[in-house]
Homo-oligomer: A and B are copies of this chain.
Amino acid sequence: MNAELINPFLKAVIEVLSTMARIEAKPGKPFVKKDKVARGDVTGMVGLAGKQLKGSLALSFSEKAILQIATGMLGEPIDQVDDSIADMVGEITNMVTGITKKILSEKGYKFEMAIPTTIIGKNHSLTHKTSGPVIIIPFTVEAGEFFVEVCFE
* Contact across chains for B153 and A115 when beta carbons are under 8 A apart: yes
For the residues of A in contact with B, the DSSP-based class is: strand
Mark each residue of chain A from 118 to 141: 1 if its CB lies under 8 Å from any CB of chain B, else 0. Answer: 111111111111100000000000
Distance in Å: Cβ of A152 to nearest Cβ of chain B: 8
Interface size class of A (residues with CB under 8 A): 35 or more
Mark each residue of chain A from 79 to 100: 1 if its CB lies under 8 Å from any CB of chain B, else 0. Answer: 0000100110011011000000
Query: How far is B48's CA from A50's CA once the two chains are assembled, in angstroms?
Result: 10
Q: Which A residues form the contact surface with B (CB < 8 A)?
A: 39, 43, 45-51, 54-56, 58, 83, 86-87, 90-91, 93-94, 111-130, 151-153
Contacts beyond the supplied A116-B128, A117-B126: 14 A-B pairs with Cβ under 8 Å: A39-B121, A47-B47, A48-B49, A90-B128, A91-B129, A94-B129, A112-B112, A115-B128, A115-B130, A115-B152, A116-B129, A118-B128, A119-B125, A120-B125
